Structure 1
C-alpha cells in the first residue's frame, strides 16, 4: 500500500514585470495603497509608492538598476522608510504585530519609555499610528522609529572601535535583562546603528552605497572620528518575564539564549568569521575567553549579562593605548601590504593622539548630536 503524498502548494508564477520591478510586488501594495493616508499624517513615502507610479526606466534607454524607483527592500517586508514632513528627517515605518500575535508593541512601549538611561540601546518609537482597518492577521498599527543602518559597514578600523561596539551591545542587552525583558532574537541583523555621525546624508535603505535621494554615492566616515550609537531592534519574539517567584534570571526563558546569540555575533564577526558575512580579524584575541563562555553549549554555564559587562570592563581596562589603536585587518590579508601600510596607520593615530581623539570612540561626545535617535 503506497503512502499518500502531501498536496503540492501551487505558488503564483513570478512575472517578468515583477522580476524587473516594473510593477509593485505583493508586499508593496499595502504601502502604495496608504500613500495619501500616510502623507496626511506627516510621512512621505518614496516616489515608487505614489498613486499612478510608472517605472522611470520604461520607454527609455536607462538601465533599470541605476534608477532610484527600481530599489526595493525585499528582506524587510513589514518595514519601509519615509520622510517626516515636519522636519525632513528620515524615519522607518514598521507594521507592528498586534497583541494577539506577539508582545512587540508592549515591549516597544516599555523600552521607549526609559530612553533617558544611557545603557538603553533599544530603538526608540517616536509614535504609533492606528490604521483605518486591520489586515487579515490583525495588524492595525504602524510604529514610527528612527532610520538606522547596518552596523558592520564601514569596516571596523581599530581595536578601540571593536571595544566600543562590544561595550555598547553588552550594556544594551544587560539593560533589557535588568527590565526582565528577553530579546529572544539577538542576532546579527537585529543590531543596527545611527547613520548620522558616519554619513553626511542618509544612505538609501535598499542600496546603502547611494544616498537616499539617489544624488550620488554614499561615503561613510570612520568610527573613531565620528562615533556612532548601536541599537537593538525587532521585538516580535521578545518577552517580559515575571521574576516575583525569585527564580534566578539565568534560567529564565530567553536570557541564556540572548547571551549565546550576542556572543555568537561577536564570534562570527571578529573571531571565527562567517562565509556569509566576514572573515576573522587579527588583534582580537582578548575577546576569546569571554566569548567562549558566552557560547557554552550548556546554558547554565554561560555568564549572565551583568557578569559579562563586569568581565568586559576589566578586559577593557587591561588594553594598552597601543593595542586600542592597532588595526583589525582580516587574518587572510597578505602580511606584506599589512606591514607596508602600518606607518601610514600609525601616523594617522599619532595625529589623533595630538588632537586628543580617544582610542575608544564615545558617541556622547559628538558635537552635532544625532539624527533623532
Structure 2
C-alpha cells in the first residue's frame, strides 16, 4: 500500500536532480553574472550535483532540491553588499513596453514621489548575444527581492495601511497616464526585510531562503513594510486625452464585466475594478486560497463602487484615494486595533489567540506604537 507514494517520490527526485530547460539559462550564465556582481544559489553553479545524491539526506529537505518555478525570474545575492535581488529576463522592447515603463518609475522625479509603489530597477544587464530558448530576451533587469504580501495581517490598522499604499501607488500610475493592465494579487508584493529575520525562499515562502527552517513573519504594526506593484509587461502609457479604449480579455483577472460582455474597455476603469477585486477576494469574501476576514466590513461600500458593473460608475483613482482618506479618518483608535482573523477560524483558536492579540495591542498603546503602520518613519 506504500508503493504509489514511493514511486511518486522517486519520479520527483528524478525531476529535481536535474535542471529544467528554463533553469539551464541561469546555469550557463552563472559565471557571467558573478563577474557582473551577482551570485546565484548553488543549484545553478556549473557542474552542480544534488547534495542529497549518494547520501542518506532526505532530498526534499535540501535547499538545492528547490527549482525555479518561473521561466524568466531568479533570485540572487548582490556580492558587493550581500543584498538580495531578483533578476528578470525582460520582454523584448518589440514585444512590450516593460523596460520603458520601468525606466519611468525608476527615474526622477517619479522615483522620489512618496506615492511611488512601483518596483524599481537597480540596473539593466545587457547580454552580448541572443539566446535560442527565448529570442530577444537579451536584457536582465535587477530589482529588489520581494515576497508575497497576503500573510499574517493581525489588525485592522495593518489592512488600512496596505489599502492606503496600493491606492496611492495606482493613483500615481494613472496620473502618469499609465495603465497597469494586469492588476491581481500576484502582482502586488512587499519588502521582506522588516517583516522577516531571514528572507523567505522564492519557491516556498513558508521556508527560509537557505531552507534552514520556517519563515516566520513578525508584526506589521511593529515592523512597517512597503508594498509594491510588479510586472509591467502589459503596462501601457497613453497620450493625455487620447482614445483609451482597448480590446477586452487582457490580464490575469478575467472577471471584469466588460470582458464578459466583450466590450471595448477603458483600461483605467479596468485597473480600478481589478484593484477592488483584490481587496474583495483577499479580505471580504475570500477565494480558494484565503478565507474572508472579520472586522473589515467598512471596506464594503468603497470596494462595491470600485467593482461596479458599469465602468462609468466606478470612481477614478483620485476619487478612490480621497474617499478612502475620509473612511480612514472615520475609524476609531479601537477599531484600528481590532483583530483581523479568518471567519472560518475554529472557536478553539479564536479563544486562544484573541486575548493574546489585545494584550499585544495594549502594549503597543503603552509604547505609543501607532495603530496604522507607517514605513516612512522608520
Q: What aligned pairs does 1:244-255 form with structure 2 within 5 A after superposition?
A: 244-245=241-242, 253-255=266-268
- Does the Cα contact within 8 Å between 2:282 and 2:290 map onto a contact in 1? yes
SS in 1 for 2:119: coil
Structure 2 residue 111 is the aligned partner of structure 1 residue 99: no
Q: Structure 1 243/88 Cα, relative in aligned 2: closer, same or farther at 3 Å?
A: same
Work out the CA distance in 1 between the residues paired with 2:290 and 2:310: 27
Partner of 1:84: 78
Work out the CA distance in 2 between the residues paired with 1:273 and 1:17: 32
Structure 2 residue 178 is the aligned partner of structure 1 residue 181: yes
Work out the CA distance in 2 between the residues paired with 1:297 and 1:195: 36
Match of 2:236 among 236, 239, 242: 239
- Does the Cα contact within 8 Å between 1:17 and 1:23 map onto a contact in 2? no
Structure 2 residue 301 is the aligned partner of structure 1 residue 279: no
CA shift, 1:115, in A, is 1.5
Which residues of structure 1 form unaligned runs of 5+? 1-14, 367-373
Partner of 2:35: 40
Work out the CA distance in 2 between the residues paired with 1:22 and 1:29: 13
- Does the Cα contact within 8 Å between 1:18 and 1:25 map onto a contact in 2? no
Match of 2:161 among 158, 161, 164: 164
- Does the Cα contact within 8 Å between 2:244 and 2:267 map onto a contact in 1? no
Q: Structure 1 300/18 Cα, relative in aligned 2: closer, same or farther at 3 Å?
A: farther
CA shift, 1:72, in A, is 1.4
- Does the Cα contact within 8 Å between 2:238 and 2:244 map onto a contact in 1? no
Q: Deviations over 1:147-191 (max 9, x none)?
A: 0000012x2100000000000000000010001100000101000
SS in 2 for 1:283: coil
CA shift, 1:265, in A, is 0.5
Structure 2 residue 316 is the aligned partner of structure 1 residue 321: no
Q: What aligned pairs does 1:1-373 form with structure 2 within 5 A after superposition?
A: 16=11, 20-74=15-69, 76-113=70-107, 114-135=110-131, 136-153=134-151, 155-245=152-242, 253-275=266-288, 277-335=289-347, 337-339=349-351, 341-366=353-378
SS in 2 for 1:199: coil
Ranges of 4+ aligned residues in structure 1 off by more than 6 Å: none
Q: TM-score if structure 2 supplies the norm length?
A: 0.88
Work out the CA distance in 2 between the residues paired with 1:187 and 1:27: 25
Q: Structure 1 315/23 Cα, relative in aligned 2: closer, same or farther at 3 Å?
A: same
SS in 2 for 1:218: coil
Work out the CA distance in 1 between the residues paired with 2:169 and 2:138: 29
CA shift, 1:129, in A, is 0.5
CA shift, 1:266, in A, is 0.4
Work out the CA distance in 2 between the residues paired with 1:42 and 1:301: 50
CA shift, 1:73, in A, is 2.9
Q: Structure 1 294/352 Cα, relative in aligned 2: closer, same or farther at 3 Å?
A: same
- Does the Cα contact within 8 Å between 1:259 and 1:302 map onto a contact in 2? yes
Q: TM-score if structure 1 supplies the norm length?
A: 0.89
CA shift, 1:257, in A, is 1.0
CA shift, 1:244, in A, is 4.5
SS in 2 for 1:307: helix
Which residues of structure 2 form unaligned runs of 5+? 1-9, 246-263
Q: Deviations over 1:96-138 (max 9, x none)?
A: 0111110000001111112211100000000000011123431
CA shift, 1:213, in A, is 2.5
Judging by fraction of residues, say which structure has more helix: 2
Q: Structure 1 213/300 Cα, relative in aligned 2: closer, same or farther at 3 Å?
A: same
